[in-house]
């Protein structure tokens, strides 16, 4: 059964480790993440962006797929199904479809509007026992080939949003989605320390987990990060393994075109990436 991310994240914050959020894109991805979590006795969060939601045939399809896989594969570790960077409308659609957790990303609104919309979702999620992630300070990333720098959140604004009663808070600390540019300044640990100080026990979320050096990940966890999102790294390992398989020319003329064979190396590559991250984040054997 899907669970809210609340208990797993409070436990992670207290135990100084982080739970990984791995974004899913299809059945293979989902199965790879679920099996790896089970094999490593780790709690896990399955992230679904609005775009991936559309791609997979809608939120209800995803809820059905995840619940079915969990039952058939006998997954017993805690699993939360979470909307990633949701709009206000998207969050409501996911709640209706049966997600156990949602993110409302109001970071692009003026702070008063972010507070107002987040507050209304705190009430809705609270009544239903679902977890809610809010965001302050936008996370940079590549758009049309231009890599935007990640903003640093205002710690007082973080406190205002945390005090609304959200489950977890994503604060921009110079992190960006996708690959980091060569001239990236690194994470702002001063910002993270100030946000942590103002928000106390609130589990903090680090987006853009791909390509952050291991020492920075460990330092971020020591300063209160309890959830780390990884998307691009799984995509890269999946693409690389698939490319190698195709380039090897492996009996594509014979049975190699069978999607179950074609997608197998990518599936194994995602499993390896997820395991590596769970070990780095310290969530192994914390289920």
Catalytic residues: 84
Of positions 84, 133, 151, 154, contacts ligand 13P by CB under 6 A:
84
Give me the least distance between CB of 236 and ligand 13P, in Å please: 9
Residues recorded for the chain: 287
Q: How far is CA 72 from CA 58, 69, 80, 181, in A?
A: 21, 5, 17, 42
Nearer to ligand 13P, 209 or 282 (CB): 209
The answer to the question of whether 177 is labelled as a binding residue is: yes
Query: In terms of C-beta density within 10 A (0-12 exposed, 13-18 middle, 19 or more buried), how is residue 67 classed?
Result: middle
11 or 277: whose CB is closer to ligand 13P?
277
Q: Do the beta carbons of residue 271 and residue 32 sit within 8 Å?
A: yes
124 is in an annotated binding site: no
In whole angstroms, what is the distance from residue 270 CA to residue 15 CA? 26
Q: Which stretch binds ligand 13P (CB under 6 A): 31-39, 66-74, 205-213, 238-246?
A: 205-213
* CB of 208 vs ligand 13P, minimal distance in Å: 4
- Contact 160/115 with Cβ under 8 angstroms? yes
Rounded Cα distance between 35 and 20, Å, is 14
Does the protein bind ligand 13P through residue 210 (CB under 6 A)?
A: yes
* Phi and psi at residue 161, to the nearest 5°: -75, -40
Q: Does 204 help bind ligand 13P (rule: CB under 6 A)? A: no
Residues facing residue 23 across a β-bridge? 47
Please state the closest distance from residue 83 (CB atom) to ligand 13P, in A.
10
Q: Is 51 left (phi over 0), alpha (psi -120 to 50) or beta?
A: alpha
178 binds ligand 13P per the rule CB under 6 A: yes
| Nearer of residues 131 and 251 to ligand 13P, judged by Cβ | 131
SS3 (DSSP) at 182: coil
Residue 31 engages ligand 13P in binding (rule: CB under 6 A): no
DSSP 140: B
Report in angstroms how near the CB of residue 105 gets to ligand 13P at its nearest.
9
Residues in contact with ligand 13P, total (CB under 6 A)?
Answer: 15
- Indicate whether 207 belongs to the interface with ligand 13P (CB under 6 A): yes
According to DSSP, residue 80 is labeled E
Per 3-state DSSP, the chain is made up of helix, strand and coil in percentages (nearest 5) of 50, 15, 35
Position 107 contacts ligand 13P (CB under 6 A): no
Q: Per CB under 6 A, which of residues 221..250 are in contact with ligand 13P?
A: 229-233
- What distance in Å separates the CA atoms of residue 259 and residue 155, rounded to the nearest whole number? 48
85 is in an annotated binding site: yes
In Å, what is the CA distance from 57 to each residue of 17, 69, 79, 234, 259?
34, 16, 21, 21, 19
Q: State yes or no: 209 annotated in a binding site.
A: yes
User: Is 232 marked within a binding site?
Assistant: yes
State the nearest-atom distance from the C-beta of 176 to ligand 13P, in Å: 7
Q: Which of 6, 11, 159, 177 binds ligand 13P (CB under 6 A)?
A: 177
Residues at the binding site are: 85, 105, 135, 177-178, 207-210, 229-232
Residues in contact with ligand 13P by the rule CB under 6 A: 23, 47, 84-85, 177-178, 207-210, 229-233
Residues at the binding site for dihydroxyacetone phosphate are: 178, 208-210, 229-232
């Amino acid at each position: 059964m899907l669970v809210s991310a609340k208990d797993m994240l409070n436990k992670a914050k207290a135990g100084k480790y982080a739970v990984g959020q791995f974004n899913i894109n299809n059945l293979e991805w989902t199965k790879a993440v679920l099996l790896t979590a089970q094999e490593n006795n780790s709690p896990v969060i399955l992230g679904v962006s609005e775009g991936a939601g559309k791609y997979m045939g809608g939120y209800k399809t995803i809820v059905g797929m995840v619940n079915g896989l969990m039952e058939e594969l006998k997954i017993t570790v805690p699993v939360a199904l979470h909307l990633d960077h949701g709009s206000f409308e998207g969050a409501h659609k996911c709640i209706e479809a049966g997600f156990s957790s949602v993110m409302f990303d109001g970071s692009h609104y003026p702070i008063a509007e972010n507070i107002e919309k987040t507050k209304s979702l705190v009430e809705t999620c609270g009544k239903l026992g679902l977890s809610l992630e809010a965001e302050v300070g936008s996370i940079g990333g590549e758009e049309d080939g231009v890599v935007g720098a990640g903003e640093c959140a205002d710690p007082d604004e973080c406190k205002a949003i945390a005090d609304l009663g959200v489950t977890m808070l994503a604060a921009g600390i110079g992190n960006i989605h996708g690959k980091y540019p060569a001239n990236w300044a690194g994470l702002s640990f001063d910002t993270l320390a100030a946000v942590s100080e103002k928000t106390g026990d609130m589990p903090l979320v680090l987006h853009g987990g791909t390509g952050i050096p291991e020492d920075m990940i460990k330092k971020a966890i020591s300063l209160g990060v309890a959830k780390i999102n990884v998307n691009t790294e799984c995509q890269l390992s999946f693409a690389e393994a698939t490319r190698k398989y195709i380039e090897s020319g492996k009996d594509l003329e014979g049975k190699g075109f069978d999607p179950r064979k074609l997608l197998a190396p990518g599936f194994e590559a995602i499993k390896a990436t997820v395991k590596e991250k769970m070990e780095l984040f310290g969530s192994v054997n914390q289920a």
